[in-house]
Amino acid sequence: MARVYGIDPHGIHSKVPQSNYEADATGATTLWPDTTHYKAEVPAGKIWWFWGGYQDGDAAETVVGTIKDASDNILFLLLSEANATVGYGYPDPALVHVNMPIPLLAGWYIELLYGGAQGAGAYACAVVTEVDAVA
Protein backbone atom coordinates (compact mmCIF):
# COMPACT_ATOMS: atom_id res chain seq x y z
CA MET A 1 0.00 0.00 0.00
CA ALA A 2 1.33 3.45 -0.90
CA ARG A 3 1.42 6.29 1.58
CA VAL A 4 1.82 9.97 0.69
CA TYR A 5 4.64 11.72 2.52
CA GLY A 6 6.26 15.09 2.65
CA ILE A 7 9.87 15.41 3.70
CA ASP A 8 10.06 17.61 6.74
CA PRO A 9 13.08 19.70 7.76
CA HIS A 10 14.22 17.11 10.29
CA GLY A 11 14.11 14.16 7.89
CA ILE A 12 11.04 12.65 9.58
CA HIS A 13 8.30 11.33 7.31
CA SER A 14 5.05 13.19 7.77
CA LYS A 15 1.59 12.22 6.57
CA VAL A 16 0.82 15.90 5.90
CA PRO A 17 2.72 17.09 2.79
CA GLN A 18 2.47 20.73 3.90
CA SER A 19 4.58 19.94 6.98
CA ASN A 20 7.71 19.55 4.86
CA TYR A 21 8.47 23.29 4.72
CA GLU A 22 10.74 25.49 6.84
CA ALA A 23 14.10 23.80 6.61
CA ASP A 24 16.67 26.08 8.25
CA ALA A 25 19.77 26.02 6.05
CA THR A 26 22.03 26.91 8.99
CA GLY A 27 20.89 24.03 11.17
CA ALA A 28 22.89 21.20 9.52
CA THR A 29 19.74 19.07 9.53
CA THR A 30 19.30 15.82 7.65
CA LEU A 31 17.97 17.64 4.59
CA TRP A 32 20.34 20.63 4.76
CA PRO A 33 23.75 18.95 5.23
CA ASP A 34 25.34 22.38 4.79
CA THR A 35 24.24 25.92 3.89
CA THR A 36 24.39 25.38 0.12
CA HIS A 37 22.67 21.97 -0.28
CA TYR A 38 19.17 20.62 0.21
CA LYS A 39 19.22 16.84 -0.31
CA ALA A 40 16.38 14.33 0.07
CA GLU A 41 17.50 10.73 -0.49
CA VAL A 42 15.36 7.65 -1.07
CA PRO A 43 15.97 5.22 1.82
CA ALA A 44 17.04 1.61 1.29
CA GLY A 45 14.18 -0.72 0.45
CA LYS A 46 11.96 2.09 -0.79
CA ILE A 47 10.88 3.70 -4.06
CA TRP A 48 9.68 7.28 -4.27
CA TRP A 49 7.24 8.71 -6.75
CA PHE A 50 8.31 12.36 -6.93
CA TRP A 51 5.48 14.84 -7.52
CA GLY A 52 7.25 18.16 -7.17
CA GLY A 53 8.63 20.60 -4.68
CA TYR A 54 9.21 24.20 -3.74
CA GLN A 55 12.21 26.23 -2.66
CA ASP A 56 12.69 29.77 -1.41
CA GLY A 57 16.19 30.85 -0.45
CA ASP A 58 17.05 33.87 1.66
CA ALA A 59 20.23 34.92 -0.17
CA ALA A 60 20.38 36.13 -3.78
CA GLU A 61 22.24 33.17 -5.26
CA THR A 62 21.68 30.77 -8.12
CA VAL A 63 19.84 27.52 -7.46
CA VAL A 64 20.02 24.33 -9.52
CA GLY A 65 17.76 21.38 -8.76
CA THR A 66 18.52 17.85 -9.96
CA ILE A 67 17.65 14.22 -9.48
CA LYS A 68 20.81 12.13 -9.15
CA ASP A 69 21.40 8.40 -8.92
CA ALA A 70 23.43 6.69 -6.19
CA SER A 71 26.64 7.33 -8.20
CA ASP A 72 25.92 11.10 -8.31
CA ASN A 73 25.05 11.06 -12.02
CA ILE A 74 22.49 13.71 -13.00
CA LEU A 75 19.34 12.03 -14.31
CA PHE A 76 17.01 15.05 -14.45
CA LEU A 77 17.52 18.80 -14.36
CA LEU A 78 14.56 20.08 -12.33
CA LEU A 79 15.31 23.76 -11.79
CA SER A 80 17.86 26.37 -12.80
CA GLU A 81 17.28 29.92 -11.59
CA ALA A 82 19.52 32.94 -11.11
CA ASN A 83 17.93 34.29 -7.93
CA ALA A 84 16.98 31.88 -5.15
CA THR A 85 15.30 34.61 -3.08
CA VAL A 86 12.29 34.23 -5.35
CA GLY A 87 10.22 31.16 -4.55
CA TYR A 88 10.17 28.54 -7.30
CA GLY A 89 8.21 25.37 -7.70
CA TYR A 90 9.96 22.48 -9.33
CA PRO A 91 10.27 20.68 -11.64
CA ASP A 92 10.22 23.59 -14.07
CA PRO A 93 7.98 22.51 -16.98
CA ALA A 94 10.37 24.28 -19.39
CA LEU A 95 13.13 21.83 -18.32
CA VAL A 96 11.34 18.55 -17.58
CA HIS A 97 9.18 17.06 -20.29
CA VAL A 98 7.99 13.84 -18.66
CA ASN A 99 4.75 12.76 -17.12
CA MET A 100 4.61 13.07 -13.35
CA PRO A 101 5.35 11.46 -11.02
CA ILE A 102 9.00 10.59 -11.60
CA PRO A 103 10.10 7.28 -9.99
CA LEU A 104 13.26 7.34 -7.85
CA LEU A 105 15.04 4.18 -6.68
CA ALA A 106 16.75 3.63 -3.32
CA GLY A 107 19.91 5.73 -3.08
CA TRP A 108 18.73 8.27 -5.67
CA TYR A 109 18.19 11.78 -4.40
CA ILE A 110 16.69 15.18 -5.07
CA GLU A 111 19.24 17.95 -4.64
CA LEU A 112 19.02 21.73 -4.65
CA LEU A 113 22.45 23.30 -4.97
CA TYR A 114 22.80 27.01 -4.18
CA GLY A 115 25.58 29.26 -5.49
CA GLY A 116 26.20 30.61 -1.98
CA ALA A 117 25.24 30.11 1.64
CA GLN A 118 21.58 30.23 2.63
CA GLY A 119 20.41 31.25 6.07
CA ALA A 120 17.72 30.50 8.62
CA GLY A 121 14.97 31.84 6.34
CA ALA A 122 15.68 29.41 3.50
CA TYR A 123 13.32 26.51 2.98
CA ALA A 124 12.66 23.73 0.52
CA CYS A 125 10.54 20.63 0.19
CA ALA A 126 10.07 17.58 -1.98
CA VAL A 127 6.66 15.89 -2.07
CA VAL A 128 6.79 12.15 -2.70
CA THR A 129 4.76 8.99 -2.44
CA GLU A 130 6.90 6.31 -0.78
CA VAL A 131 6.34 2.62 -1.43
CA ASP A 132 8.22 -0.52 -0.45
CA ALA A 133 10.53 -1.87 -3.15
CA VAL A 134 9.66 -5.38 -4.30
CA ALA A 135 12.60 -7.73 -4.77
Instruction: Give tens-digit pLDDT for 44-93.
Output: 988 888 889 989 888 889 999 999 999 999 999 999 998 777 888 899 88
Q: Is the pLDDT of residue 5 over 60?
A: no
What structural domains does the chain harbor?
Answer: 3-132 (2.60.120)
Q: CA-to-CA distance for 77 and 118, rounded, in angstroms?
A: 21
Sign of CA dihedral 5, 112, 73, 97: positive
Residue-wise pLDDT tens digits, 21-33 = 445 667 667 788 8
Q: What is the per-residue pLDDT for 34?
A: 85
Q: Are 20 and 126 contacting, i.e. CB atoms less than 8 angstroms apart? A: yes
Q: What is the per-residue pLDDT for 134?
A: 79
Q: What is the per-residue pLDDT for 27?
A: 66
Higher local confidence (pLDDT), 58 or 7: 58
Residue-wise pLDDT tens digits, 45-58 = 888 888 899 898 88
Q: What is the per-residue pLDDT for 23?
A: 54
